[in-house]
Each structure stands twice: as structure tokens, then as C-alpha cells.
Amino acid sequence: ATKADVANIRPQSIGTSIPRREDPGLLTGRTPYIADIALPGMLHVAILRSPVAHGRIVGVDLSAARAMPGVELAWSGADVAPRCAGIMASLDQKGFVATVQPLLAQEEVCFIGEAIAVVVATSRAEAEDALEKIDIDVEEIPVVATVDAAMTTGVLANAKVPANLVYRSDRVTDDVSDAFGAAAVVVEGCFHTPRVSASPMETRGFVARHEWTTGQLTCWAATQMPSFIKTMIAIHLQFPEQQIEVITPQVGGGFGQKAHLHPEELLVCLLAIELGRPVRWIEDRQENLFRATHAKQQVNEMALAVDQEGRFLALRDRVTTDGGAYNSLPWTHLVEGHCGILVVTDPYRVPALAAETISVATNKCPIGAYRGVGFSAPTLAREVLIDRAARALGLSPFEIRRRNLIREEDLPYTTRAGLRIREGSFLATVDRLEAMIGYEAFRERQESARREGRYLGLGISIFSEISGIGTRALNFLDFPITSHDTATVRVEPTGKVTVTTGIVTAGQGHLTTLAQVAADAFGVPAEDVTILSGSTSHAVGFGTVASRSAVFGAGTIGRAAEMVRAKMRAIAARLLQAAPEEIELSGGMVHVRDDPGRGLPFASVAGAAYFAEGTHPEDFDPTMEATAAFDPADIVLANGGHAAIVEVDVATGQVRVEKMFAVEDCGRMINPMIVEGQIRGGMAQAVGMVLLEELIYDDNGQLITTTLQDYLLPTALDVPDIEIAHLETPSTLVPGGIKGMGESAMISAPAAVAGAVNDALACLGVTIEQFPASPRRVFAAVARAERT
Ligand code: MCN
Ligand code: SMO
């Protein structure tokens, strides 16, 4: 067997919306987060962060801070440098400029909020008081506050990044000039997507305890990637990996922000080792806004050439990403623009593609992963342009998409960027969305509203999502990383099932859905299965990122369960006097396939394995557990579409989202309720990104949105009713036919909202290409149109 083998799982519990077992703990506040960890003798960390965007550190005087009450230790960059050189983020790609991010700045600080010094004290309050006594002498140097400045001024944002250029890529460079020359319609735009923060409800946090007698380093981390963090601690601190355990009690949301190795995590380990006492760091909300990773800020200069019938001839895209001062590990600056151009034509037949991406360093917080990684911005630009082309040709937005989407007979279809699309229900998605919306009726309503001075708009977006990301998908995206997960499945003597997994849950409900998978693998009820997750001592895994957990959960559990099933079949065959191949597990029984009456309860067969040697076939190995790895044989693509109806108040510039729609095809759903919860959450974030959220830096590189009063997250008041429909095209690459979907709404719902705003204003000749479409921007655009 190979790690890509697809074991058979017959859906039974899969497909049902059983309640989430994590909810009683979450809803009653009994589930612990990092800030709930209290260890005897624990000390607390406060971090001094740079008040300037760019400077040379002349001196850091810690003497007064060290003399403050309760202070156990104070360090600056000079103290840390001999212990750890910093986080080296490199990629084996031609032209990629690696960066080293020190845990505490040494000679240079490169953005507001970069850590300069740290204090450890008996309480957080004492640590914060001591921070105020630290005397820092930082000589300010010129700031690179924008992409334009990065590319024109000659000032370097980070002395180690020549010309401020971290990466330039032109992997797809078809000659598109003929296509553009021959086009009946060319639509183009310059789309700005904002710098946003994933803003998880629980901020980052890390507790470390080093037991000097045993050498054990135990860490409690709010992370999506515990196994990765464990290995990175070992490598960066040259610490024996077998003596590290990373525990994730419950992660209060991550959305990509916690899918990195953060400098603070290594720093807290060093402090715990140095002090021989447990050390805790909890990020506050302000730190989260200016120092946890930012995301998505980029400009897509895109053009689409279309013929008279509305068929796409070519697409051109030039993406410039404002990536901040360093690369985050492991995703680097490539996480946005570069991934984006590789998926930019996604579900459409586009015969020619010329795409270029550059990523530049600025004196801003480094960007990192955020739900919809790479996809959100180019999808928004593409879908808004498709709507514009439809208007120019007098086609409906559904019709133009129908004419260009990949059809059944095109499969497998390889995009110009080299993405092989094996399956997808693209046309069915469009038809379904059109029916849900009631397109004709909407246009009539839009017309009559307009006569009353009200501006309604409809936007739609079609996507496919690279889900269940493993080695194949990572390599396609130019991350030369091999990834697999393992799970261990054990049948207990009483017939209950214990599964250990490397998957860590950040709110997705894996303890429930993975139990459903394991239940179906053995034909037992889900309540007979327990999922153990949350510690690196359980199993290995790449982490809960890139919509991979459903796929990897099903793959690892499916394969490990198959090994244990074979043992159950061997015993049952002997007891029932049948051949092992004839034995099946279902309905809590182990029985002869075509004769369910000839069977034994699952628990009896399990018990026989442990307690009745006489039932064992010759040479039987009674290890009733197995560990298996999984990594899909090819890229697992889910697909779907979104739509939004908005109303724009042209007198105030205010946009209200009236209703949103989603069609999701993630293959077979494990738990439809959880899938719908994922969609709703992502759609709320889409409303935030397109209408509200923006991290704003001024010309000096000062972040001016440092509270949630300035950085506007969507609330229940901003998120409308959401109607959801499902298509189910099972994947052949994954046990149970499952595909991932955790990012889908942030991949394509932003495009739907942006398209709806543009549709509402099209009759005024107004286009909106800069987001968020705040009242100020919309109002100004309408006023500009009225003047001309
Ligand atoms: N699921 C299902 N049937 C399917 C596919 C998925 O029932 N066919 C379920 C899964 O079992 C899982 C959930 O839906 O409970 C999402 O599954 P999947 O698509 O595999 O994504 P992951 O579990 O790997 O979660 C990661 C994904 C990402 S990358 C981001 S970013 C994001 C997201 O999940 N962050 C989240 N959703 C989030 N939801 C919450 N509450 N918190 C976050 O931080
Ligand atoms: S941004 Mo999700 O953690 O891949």
C-alpha cells in the first residue's frame, strides 16, 4: 500500500448533521485556551515593540527595567542573538530573496511593532511596568511606506533585500497580443485589495515549561501547525526534538494567522529554558493588530479579452504584493500574488494567460496566510471584469459564465498555469445560483428600485478551490514541501474506537467530523469513537491549514482503519466459518456480506481479539491498532459559486448587503451543518474584507488602525441572510469521496460582494476598484461621476 491509496468507506454517519461535540465546552466556557493555562511558578512576558517603522538601534538600556519589582529577566536583541539567529524563511526558488527575522531586533527595526526587548516578571502588570523603564535609542531612517516608494526611491525597507524585491515570477507568459488585438471587447481594471488581519477571537499565545531534570520542553501554543512548530523549535534552538511536546488545548480561531512559526514562540522557549520556570506570553489585541501577520494587500492590474460571443480569448494580470519587511515561515511573500497567478483563470477556459507577480518589501508587518490564500484578490478582479464584459455585450452575468466555464467534456482540463482540473460541477453551479436568485425577477426589482432612486446590485462569482493540500498541491504552488499526516486507529477491547490525529481544531469541529469518518470505517455509531488531538505526542501532521483536514482525516483514518478491519475480518471469518473476503462490518455487526443474520456484534469480535486466544487464526497478530499516513495522489479540487445582492445609498456611500447565496460542491459532505457553518463564517469575513476592514499605515509607516474601533470587523448587523445549496461530486482521490471547503467563502464571496457594488453603480457609470468600498470611497466615486 502507498500513502496515496484510497481505502473504502461506506457513508452512513457521514452525511448527517450530528451536533458538534465541542460545543458544550465552548458554549459554557469550560474549554481551556492558552490564557487559561496556569502552572506553578509561572512567569509572564511583556514585549517592547518598536514605535518607529524603520530605525537603527543605537542602544537599549535595560538596567532600570531589571531593577523593577517582580522582574526576573530583561533581554534585548544582543542577549538573544547568540541563542538564536532568527527565523530564516527561504524557498528553493530562483530569484527568491530569503530573509532572517530576529526574535528581538538587533541592528535594524523594520516595522512598527517589531519586538525590541522583552521583560519577564511575576505578573503581566509588573512586566508591563518594567517595559516603560527601558531606554531605547533608535535612530530613525527613511521609511518605505508604500509599494510605489519601494519600487522608485532607492531606499531599502530591509537592508538585506536588494531593490526591495523579494520575488518576481512570470511562470505563465503566453503571447496574448493577438488575442487582445482581435477582441471584440477588452475590459481592464486596477484592483486594490486591502491589507487585512485574520483577527481570530483568541489572540496568539504561548506557554513553555522546561524541566531541567528531565530535559523535557513542553509548550502550549495557539497554533494551527503544532508538529511544524515542534520541528522548527528543534531546528532553530538546536533542541532535541524527541523532548519537545507542543500541546494545543483549543485554538480560538486561526484563519491562517496561526499557521506560521512566530518569533515570540521561539523567544518564550528560550526564556523558559533560561529561567527554569514556566513562562507565558499572551498577545493583546493591539499587538495582534500590528504584529500578528497581515494579509492580502496587493494590486491586480488585470485585463480580459473577449470575443463577440462572449468567449474569453486571453487574460493578462500583473500583481504587486505589499509583503512587509520579512518573509513569514513557511509561506513567505509567495502566499499571495504568486499563488494567485497560478489559480487566476481557475474554473474558466482561458486559452492564453500572461501573468506576472512581484512582491516587494516595505516597512510594514509581514504578510502571512489568511483564509482564501492567494485566491481572494485575483478572483475579485476577474469576476468584476467578467461582469463588465457581460454588460458590454448585453449578456447576463450567468450566460457569459456558462459560455466560458470548463464543461464536462473538457475534463481533465489543464489551465495555462498548469493546474489539472479532473472534476467539477461548474455549469450546474451557475444554473443553481441563477435559480436561487431568481435572476429575471431581480432585474425587474432592480429597475423599479432605480426609479425610486434606490441602487440595488447583484454580483456573482464562480470558483474552484485547491483543497486537501498535500505534496502535489504544494509543489504546484511552488512550495517544494512534502507533506503527509498520520493517524492511529485502535479498537478497544469493548469495541470502542480511539483515533489519534495530528489535526488540530481551531473551531472547525474535527472532533465531531473525524469521529463520523472513523465510525463509518468500522460500521459503528459515532458516539463509540473518540478523537484524540491537540498534542504532538499523538500523531504527526502538517497542520490545520489549506482546507486539508477533512481530506487528510479521511485519508489517514480510512487507511489505518482498513488495517485493523482486516484483523476483525480474520477473527470473524474463523468464528463464522466464512472466508475473510466475505466478511463485512456494518450496523455495529461483523457479518457475512450477503447474510447479515450470520454475524457477531462488533464488540464481541474486538473482545475475542484481546481475551480469547482460541478464536485467533493461526499466526494472528492481536495488535488491534494501526498507524497510517496519507497524501492525495493528485490535487483535490472542490468548486462552487457565490452571489450577493447589495443596496448602495448614493447619498451616503453606505453599502448594505441584503442577501448572499452559496453553492458548494465539496464532494461528499461529512457533516452538512458544519459545512454550512464554514460557509457562513467565511461569507462574514468576505463582507468585512470588501466593505469594512483595512489596516492603514500613514506615510511614516505608523499603523493608525490599532483598535477594533478603527479596524472594522463585520458584526451580525453587517451579515445578511445566507442561502446555501449543495452539489455533491465525490472525489476519487479521497476515502468517502470527500473534498475540502474551509476556505471557499473567502475565495470567492469577496468577488460577489465587489461585483454587486459595481452592478449597483454601473448605471451611473461608476466603477469601484479600490477596496474596502467604504462610504467615503463610494461617495467620492459617485460624486466624481456626477461632476463629469
Ligand atoms: N467538512 C465536511 N465535509 C466536507 C469537507 C469539510 O464536513 N466534505 C468539514 C470538516 O470536517 C471540517 C470543516 O468542514 O470540520 C472544514 O474542513 P476543511 O475544508 O478540511 O478545512 P480544515 O478543517 O483543514 O480547516 C482549515 C480551514 C482554513 S485553511 C481556514 S483559514 C479556516 C477554516 O478552515 N480557519 C478557521 N475555517 C475556520 N473555521 C473556524 N471556526 N476557525 C478558523 O480558524
Ligand atoms: S489560511 Mo488557512 O489556515 O490555509
pLDDT digits (tens, 9 = 90+) for 328-381: 999 999 999 999 999 999 999 999 999 999 999 999 999 999 999 999 999 999
Task: Kindly report the protein residue whose alpha carbon is nearest to atom 34 of ligand 1.
Answer: 742
Same domain, yes or no: 318 and 285 = no
As beta bridge partners, residue 509 has none
Which atom of ligand 2 is found nearest the CA of 371? 1
Kindly state if the Cβ of 646 falls inside 6 Å of ligand 2.
no
128 shares a domain with 79: yes
Residue 626 shares a structural domain with residue 643: no
pLDDT at 308 over 90: yes
**Residue 153 belongs to a domain:** no
Nearest CA to ligand 2 atom 4: 546
**Are 570 and 706 part of one and the same domain?**
no
* Counts for the chain of helices (H) and strands (E), in that order: 21, 32
Residues 215 and 304 occupy one common structural domain: no
Which pTM was predicted?
0.97
Residues 263 and 132 in one domain: yes
pLDDT attached to residue 538: 84
Q: Which atom of ligand 2 is nearest to the CA of 224?
A: 3
* 686: in domain: yes
Half-sphere exposure of 546 (CA within 13 A, CB side): 29
The answer to whether position 621 is within a domain reads yes
* 101 class by beta-carbon count within 10 Å (0-12 exposed, 13-18 middle, 19+ buried): buried
Contact 588, 497 (CB under 8 A): no
Q: Whose CA is nearest to atom 10 of ligand 1?
A: 550
Q: Which ligand is nearest to the CA of 373?
A: 2
In a shared domain, residues 625 and 671: no
506 lines ligand 1 (CB under 6 A): yes
pLDDT of residue 253: 97
Cα distance between residue 395 and residue 403, in whole Å: 10
Report the CATH number that the domain containing residue 489 is assigned in CATH: 3.30.365.10
Q: What's the number of domains the chain is made of?
A: 3
Per-residue model confidence (pLDDT) at position 788: 80
Answer yes or no: do 709 and 571 share one domain: no
Is 509 a pocket residue for ligand 1 (Cβ < 6 Å)? yes
> How high is the pLDDT of residue 28?
96
Structure confidence at residue 93 (pLDDT)? 85
pLDDT score of 307: 98
Q: Is the CB of 510 under 6 A from ligand 1?
A: yes
**Which run of H or of E encompasses 685?**
helix 672-687
Amino acid 320 reads T
As a whole-number percent, the residues of the chain with pLDDT over 90 amount to 97
| Cα separation values, 223 from 38, 210, 273, 487, Å | 18, 19, 21, 19
Residue 641 and residue 755 in contact, taking contact as beta carbons nearer than 8 Å: no
In this prediction, the answer to ipTM > 0.85 reads yes
The number of the ligand nearest the C-alpha atom of 465 reads 1
Closest ligand 2 atom to 469 CA: 4
Strands 455-467 and 636-649: antiparallel
pLDDT above 90 (res 596)? no
Range scoring the smallest mean pLDDT among 156-160, 535-539, 583-587: 535-539
pLDDT at residue 170 is higher than 90:
no
Last residue of a domain, one of 596, 630, 664: 630
Chain CA centroid to CA 51, Å:
30
| Last residue in a domain, options 239, 267, 290 | 290
Q: 90 with 233, same domain? A: yes
Whether pLDDT at 749 is above 90 = yes
Span from the CA of 508 to the centroid of ligand 1 (angstroms)? 5
β pairing state of 455-467 and 420-421: unpaired
Residue-range definition of the domain harbouring residue 584: 23-31+484-630
Answer whether 522 contacts ligand 2 (Cβ < 6 A): no
Look at residue 752 and tell me if it is in a domain. Answer: yes
Dihedral-angle region of residue 317 (phi above 0 means left; psi in -120 to 50 means alpha; beta otherwise): beta
In a domain, 6, yes or no: no
Question: From the centroid of its chain, how far is CA 490?
Answer: 30
Q: HSE, CB side, 13 Å, CA atoms: give it for residue 529.
A: 29
What is the separation of C-alpha 75 from the centre of its chain, rounded to a whole number of angstroms?
34
β partners of residue 465: 638
Residue pair 184/351 in contact (Cβ under 8 Å)? The answer is no
Q: Is residue 148 part of a domain?
A: no
Predicted pLDDT of residue 388: 98
Mean pLDDT of 140-151: 97
**Mutation choice for ligand 1 from 373, 517, 678, CB with most ligand atoms inside 8 A:** 678
Residue 142 pLDDT grade (very low, low, confident, very high; cuts 50, 70, 90): very high
Q: Answer yes or no: do 598 and 717 share one domain.
A: no
Q: How confident is the model at residue 294 (pLDDT cuts 50, 70, 90)?
A: very high
Give the residue-averaged pLDDT of 93-112.
95
Domain of 74, CATH number, reads 3.90.1170.50
CA of 224 to the centre of ligand 2 (A): 9
Sequence-distant contacts of 530-533: CB under 8 A, at least 24 apart = 530/496, 530/497, 530/498, 530/499, 531/499, 531/500, 531/501, 532/498, 532/499, 532/500, 532/501, 533/248, 533/500, 533/501, 533/502, 533/503, 533/504, 533/505
Same domain? For 568 and 653 the reply is no
Residue 134 has pLDDT above 90, yes or no: yes
Q: Which of 545, 552, 678, 744 is the pocket-test mutation for ligand 2 (most atoms within 8 Å of CB)?
A: 545
Asked if residue 526 has its Cβ within 6 Å of ligand 2, the reply is no
Are both 649 and 778 inside the same structural domain?
Answer: yes
Q: What is the mean pLDDT of the chain?
A: 97
CA 245 to chain centre: 24
748 belongs to a structural domain = yes
Ligand 2: centre distance to CA 340 (Å): 14
Q: Which atom of ligand 1 is nearest to the CA of 675?
A: 14
Instruction: State the distance from the centre of ligand 2 to the C-alpha of 543, rounded, in angstroms.
Output: 10
CB of 404 closer than 6 A to ligand 2? no
Radius of gyration of the chain (CA): 27
**Is there a domain that residue 469 lies in?**
yes
Which atom of ligand 2 is nearest to 370's Cα? 1
pLDDT score, position 659: 98
Q: Which three cell numbers stand for residue 228?
A: 511544524
Which bound ligand lies closest to the C-alpha atom of 674?
1
Q: Point out the ligand nearest to the CA of residue 370.
A: 2
State which of 23, 508, 724 you would mutate to test the pocket of ligand 1, scoring each by most atoms of that ligand within 8 A of its C-beta.
Answer: 508
| Model confidence at 92: pLDDT above 90 | no
Please give the distance, rounded to the nearest whole angstrom, from the Cα atom of residue 542 to the centre of ligand 1: 14
Q: Which of 547, 630, 743 to mutate to test the pocket of ligand 1 (most atoms within 8 A of CB)?
A: 547
Q: What is the pLDDT of residues 494-518, one digit of tens each?
A: 999 999 999 999 999 999 999 999 9
Q: Is 784 a residue whose pLDDT tops 90?
A: yes
Cα 459 to ligand 1 centre (Å): 25
* Ligand 2 pocket residue status of 256, Cβ below 6 Å: yes
